[in-house]
Chain A
Amino acid sequence: MIRVKNLRKTFLTKQGSQAAVHGAEFDVAEGEIFMLLGPSGCGKTTTLRCIAGLETPDEGEIWIGEQLVFGDRGGTLLPVYKRGVGMVFQSYAIWPHLTVFDNVAYPLVHGIYKAPKREVKGRVQKALSLVGLERFEDRPAPLLSGGQQQRVALARALVYEPKVLLLDEPLSNLDAKLRAEMRIELRALMKRLNITAIYVTHDQEEALVLSDRIAVMHAGEIKQIGTPRDIYVKPQNDVVAGFIGTANLFSASITAVPRNGEEGSVSTPIGALACPLPPSVAVGQPVTIMFRPEDVVVRASQAGPSQNSLCGVVEQAVFVGSRLQCVLSVQGHKVHCEVPKSQLVETGQSVVVEIPRHAIHLLP
C-alpha cells in the first residue's frame, strides 16, 4: 500500500546541512499499522511529513497505492492536497474558529474531497460516532478537552475515507491514563476500518501495544523493522535493544561452540555464561549478549547447583508498585533486574543472580 524507497532529506541550518533522514526504506501492507519509533530528532516525523507531502525529500521514491507521489527520477511531486491521505497532527490542529461539526465537515465542504451538500451531515455524524462524539457537534472546538480534541482530529481525518492514515504522535499530549485507554481504542478502530496507517511515536509502550510492525529509527536511519515481539525479543543491534525496554548489554567472547549435545558458552565481564548459540560462530569470536531485567532471577542464597549463577550485591532497589526494580553489582558491573514485590531485597544485601540460558540473546 505504501512503499518508501531510499528516502533522503537534508535540512539546511545555520550550522550547515543536517541530514534528517538517510536512506529510509520500507513497505506497508494494506490494513497494516506501521510504527515509526525512535527518540526525538531521529527523523521519524520528517519521514511521515515526506509521505504526506508536507516536506519535499531530496532523493528517493514514495508510492501510495499504485501511485508514485514522489520520485527523484522523472521529477514526480504530487502536491499535498492530492495525495488522498488522512493525517492526525501532534497538536491536533483543531481550527479554533469552527465548531466540532464544521471542523469535521471541512474536507467535505472545501477542496478535492467535496461531497454533495445533502451527504455532508450524514457523513460527519458517522465519523463523529466512530470516535464517540455524537453529541458534541455544535460545541466550539476550543471548549473541548484534550482527549475530545484528539477524537475530533481523528474524525476529521477519517471523514473523507482516505486510503492511508498518518498519525504524528497523536497521543503524546494526553495524560498517562487516557493515553493507555486510547491506545487500545485506536487500534480497535483502525482494525475495524481496515485502514493502512503509519504512526509516529517516541513511546515504546505505545509502539508495542498499537502496531503490527515497528521500524526503529535512530539518527536518520532505520535500525530494524519487525513485529513488536521480534523487536523486543530479538533486537538486531544495541541501539534497538537499548531503546525498547531496559536491556543488559555485555560484550563477550565465545569460549565453546555447541557440539554433541553440549551447549555453547561465552565469557563475559560478569562471568562465564551458557547460552544458545547459532552454529555459525567460532571460538574466540567477539560478540554482544543481551538479556532483559525481567528474565533475571534473584535469590537470597544458592538453592542447589544451577546454571549461570553469579554472586552480586544489591546497589539500588526501587519499589514501583507491581515489582521492585533493582540494580545489582556483579563483578563490578551493573546488572538491571526486576524482582516480585513479595520478595524482600535491601540495598547492600548479597544475592545470587541466575540468568536463564534461554533469556540470553546474541546480537548479530
Chain B
Amino acid sequence: MSASTRRPGGITTANALPLAFSWLILAVVIVLLAFVLYMTFVPSLPTEPGFTLKHWSNVASSRLLTRVIPNTAIVGFGAIFVGAFFALPMAWLLNRTTLPLRATFTTMIGITPVIPGFILAMGWIMLLDERIGLLNNVAASLLGFSSIPLSVKDSPWGIAWVLGLILAPAIFFLVAGPLCRIDPSLEEAASVVGMRHLTTLRRVTLPLVWPGILGGLIYVFMTAVSIFEIPALLGAASGKVPVLASEIFYSVRPGGPLTATFAYGAAGVYGTLLAAPSLVALYVYLRVLERTERYQVITGKGYRPRETDLGGWSWIGVGFVVLYLALAVGLPLLVLLWASLMPVLQMPSREALSKLSFTNYDGLFEGLGGFGVISNTVVLVLSVSLFVSFFSFMVSWVVVRTQAQSRKLMDMLVMVPHAIPSLAFAFALAMLGILASRWLPWLPLSGTLGIIAVAHVINRMPYGTRVMNSALAQVHRELEECAQVCGTKTPTIMRTIILPLIKPSVIYLVVWTAMLSFQEVTMALFLSGPHNNVLSVSIWVLWEGGNLGTAAAGAVAMVATTGLLMFGILRLAGGPTAGLVGREVGAAPLTKSQ
C-alpha cells in the first residue's frame, strides 16, 4: 500500500476529481501572483533580457511620495469615515432595535452592490459639481449665489465621499455579524451590576465587537484604495487626483490604447505596494473571524440578541436609513434617469419637463456598440457565473467534505484574490496575454473575451467559495455516506444528492455572480481590446467621450436590466433562494468587487 492511502484521511480516488479542479484554479491564482512580482524586476516586457531594480528605486520618486500616497491615504481613510458614519448606526438600528421594516431595509442594503459603482459616481457628478451639479444649482438659487464651489470631482475628499457611500454596505454587514452574535447574557450581566445603558454599550458591547469591526475596517480600507473606476471618474483620469490604483492603470494603458508609453515594471511595483498590506489585512481579518466563530460556538445559538425598543424615536432611525439609501442609490439613479431624458442636463422645471424625450435612448443601441457588445456581455456574464459556481463547488467540496491534508491551505489560497487588487490580476493577465501572443500565437488570450472571463472568475472565487462552504457544511455528512454505501460514486452523488440539496445556494451564487460580472468595469476596461467590449465598458467610454446623455441612458438601461433579471430569476427560483439575498450577503460580507 502506498503511503498516501495509508495516511489517515489520505487521498482516495473518490476525491481525485474535485482535487484536480481545485488545484487547477488555485494554480492560476499562484502563477498570476508570482508574475506580478516578477514583472517588477524586468526592464520592460519579460521577452527582453535583463534584470533591474530601478522600478523599485523609482518608488521613492517625489510624485509618488508627495501626491499619490497622500491622495490614496485620504481616499482610504475618508471612505472608511464616511462608510462607518452611515454603516455603524444602521447596523445597530437594523440588528439590535425594534425599528419597523428592518428585514426590508437589510435586503435593500444587501442588494445595493449589484448597482455599478461607476454609475453611482456618474450620478454624483451630476448632483455635486460646481458647473453642472443639480444640488449646487438648487443651493445657489436658494442662497442667491451664482455658483457653489463644492464638487465631488477633482478632490480626494469627493472620491472618499462616493466610495464611502458605496462601501457602507460592506461595513454594515461586517459589523452586523459580531453585533448579532454577542451573547445577551453578557450584556445582561452588565446591567445587573448596575451599569447604565450607554455605559454598557461603551464598556461591554463595544469591546466585544471591536476586534471584528477593526478587522473589517482594515479590509474595507484596502478595498477602497484598490478600486480604480471611481477615482478615475472623479479626477484620476484627468491626472488631477492620482491614486495608486489609477497609477497602475495608466502605467499600462496611458490615456487609451493609442497613446501608449508603457511602464510595466512600475505597474508591478504599484500592484505589489497595494497587495502586500492587503494580504496582511486579510490575514488579520481571517484570524479575527476565526476567533469570533469559536466564541460563537461556545455561547451556542439558542438565544435572540436583546433588542432596544426605540419608541417614539424610531422614525428618526427610519429616516436615517432612508437618508442613506437616498444618498447612496436613490438620488444618483434619479439624476441619471433625469439626465437620460434631457437633451442637455438642466434643472428640473416646467420648461425642462416640456423637453422630455427619449432621444438619448434612440441612439443607445448603436452608441453602446450594437449587437456585438450585447452578445459579448451575455457570453461573459453566463460563462463567468457558471465557471465560478463550478470551481467554487469543487474547492468547497475538498475543503468541507474531504479530509485532504491540503484543504486548509486551499481555503486560504482561494481567499487570496480577495486581498489582491483586481487591477493587479488584470495586469498580470494582460502581460501573460502579450507574452502568449508572441510565444503561443494560437492561444487566443490577448484582447479576447476569454481573458476578461478568467479575470472575473478569479476575482469572484473568494465569495463563491464562502457561499458554497456554508451550503455544503449544512448538508449532513451521512446523507453523502449513505449514497456511497448504496453503491454510487462521488460524481453521481454530487449530481443526484448534493446539488439538489444545495440548489437554492447554487442559484443564488449564479445570479449574484452574474450581476457582479455584469457591472464590473475595472478589469474589463483594462483588458479591453477592439473586439471584446462589454456593456459596462461601453458606458464608460461614452461617458469619457463626453456623451453624458447617452451614457446616462445606458446606465439607466443597465440598472433596469440588472433589477429585472435579478428579481425575475429569484422569483422563478422561489422562496428559498430569495431568502438567501439578505442572509448570504450578511454571512459573507465580501460582496463588492474590488
Contacts and interface: CB of A to CB of B under 8 A. Distances in A.
Interface centre among A54, A112, A157 (most CB of B within 10 A): A54
Interface stretch (B146-154, B415-423, B484-492, B583-591): B484-492
A89 B478 contact: yes
B478 A91 contact: yes
A43 to B, nearest CB: 14
Nearest to A49: B481
Interface in B6-27: 6, 8-10, 12-14
A135 B497 CA distance: 24
A56 interface: yes
B284 to A, nearest CB: 22
A87 B10 contact: no
A34 interface: no
Contacts of B66: none
A277 B497 CA distance: 61
Contact of B496 (A58, A76, A110): A110
Contacts of A235: none
Contacts of A114: 487
B482 A87 contact: yes
A75 B501 contact: no
Interface in A43-86: 52-54, 56, 58, 72, 74-77, 79-83, 85-86
A96 B478 CA distance: 12
Contacts of A85: 485
A104 to B, nearest CB: 10
B436 interface: no
Contacts of A95: 479, 482-483, 497, 501
Nearest to B10: A56
Contact of B486 (A56, A75, A160, A166): A160
B1 A81 contact: no
B5 A56 contact: yes
B487 A113 contact: yes
A54 B484 contact: yes
Given A58-B6, A74-B1, A111 B479 contact: no
Contacts of A10: 8
A114 B487 CA distance: 9
A90 B478 contact: yes
Nearest to B480: A93
Contact of B481 (A72, A89, A97, A157): A89
Contact of B489 (A9, A12, A111, A166): A111
A80 B482 contact: no
A13 to B, nearest CB: 10
Nearest to B486: A107
A26 interface: no
Nearest to B487: A111
Interface size class of B (residues with CB under 8 A): 20 to 34
A106 interface: yes
A156 interface: yes
B495 to A, nearest CB: 9
A72 B5 CA distance: 10
Nearest to B6: A58
Contacts of A77: 1, 5, 12
A110 B501 contact: no
B481 A160 contact: no
Nearest to A114: B487
B365 to A, nearest CB: 43
Contacts of B489: 79, 81, 111
A58 B8 contact: yes
A11 B486 contact: no
A298 B152 CA distance: 95
Given A81-B484, A111-B487, A93 B8 contact: no
Nearest to A59: B6
B1 A89 contact: no
Interface string B453-495: 0000000000000000000000010110111111111001000
A184 to B, nearest CB: 25
B488 to A, nearest CB: 4
A198 to B, nearest CB: 13
Interface in B206-239: none
B44 to A, nearest CB: 50
B500 interface: yes
Given A91-B476, A93-B476, A93-B478, A81 B5 contact: no
B270 to A, nearest CB: 41
Contacts of B8: 9-12, 56, 58
Interface in B540-560: none
Interface string B412-442: 0000000000000000000000000000000
B354 interface: no
A318 B184 CA distance: 41
A87 B478 CA distance: 11
Given A12-B9, A81-B488, 8 more contacts: A52-B481, A54-B484, A56-B9, A87-B485, A91-B478, A106-B496, A110-B487, A111-B489
14 contacts: A56-B10, A80-B485, A81-B487, A93-B479, A95-B501, A106-B488, A106-B496, A107-B486, A110-B486, A110-B487, A111-B487, A113-B486, A153-B482, A160-B486
* For the complex of A and B, 3 pairs with smallest distance between CB atoms: A75-B1, A111-B487, A111-B488
